[in-house]
Every structure is written in C-alpha cells, then in structure tokens.
Amino acid sequence: MKMMPLQLVIIDLENGQRGVFVGRPLITGDTDENEHQVQNVWFTDIQEMPDSATLEQLTRVTLEQMSQGRTLQ
C-alpha cells in the first residue's frame, strides 16, 4: 500500500459547528511559519462522493470544480 501524508484542517464556527477537512499538507514541519499566511479560503460545491472514493479521486474532482469556477470564497 502506498503511503501519503495527510493534514487535517479543523474549523470551529461561533455557533458551535465544527468542520474537519482532510487533504494534502500545505505546511510541513521544516518550513518557516511566517512564509505561509492564508490568502483565501475556498469551499467547493461537492455534496456527496461515493464512500469508496480515494483521496486522489476526490482531489481530482475538487481541482476540476475550482478550474470551472464552481467554488465559494
């Protein structure tokens, strides 16, 4: 089985809701934190994916949606 690094992004809203997002790491342990400031946050309009979808498939669909402008900022 091929291993790949994953990073969780956890967002807490003021109303108590929490979102957990899984993806490929943006920041690694060997980089300077000052070099990585958030510029934008994008949410795709993916509602449902097959439970058997791989991370690679999900990433591909997400990138396709972003290139078509189907995101919320």
2-24 pLDDT, tens per residue? 887 888 888 899 999 998 888 77
- pTM comes to 0.52
Check whether 68 has a pLDDT greater than 80: no
Task: Report CA 40 to chain centroid distance, whole Å.
Answer: 12
Which residues touch 71 (CB under 8 Å, ≥6 apart)?
42, 43, 44, 45, 65
23-45 per-position pLDDT tens digit: 778 777 777 767 777 788 777 76
Model pLDDT, residue 71: 57
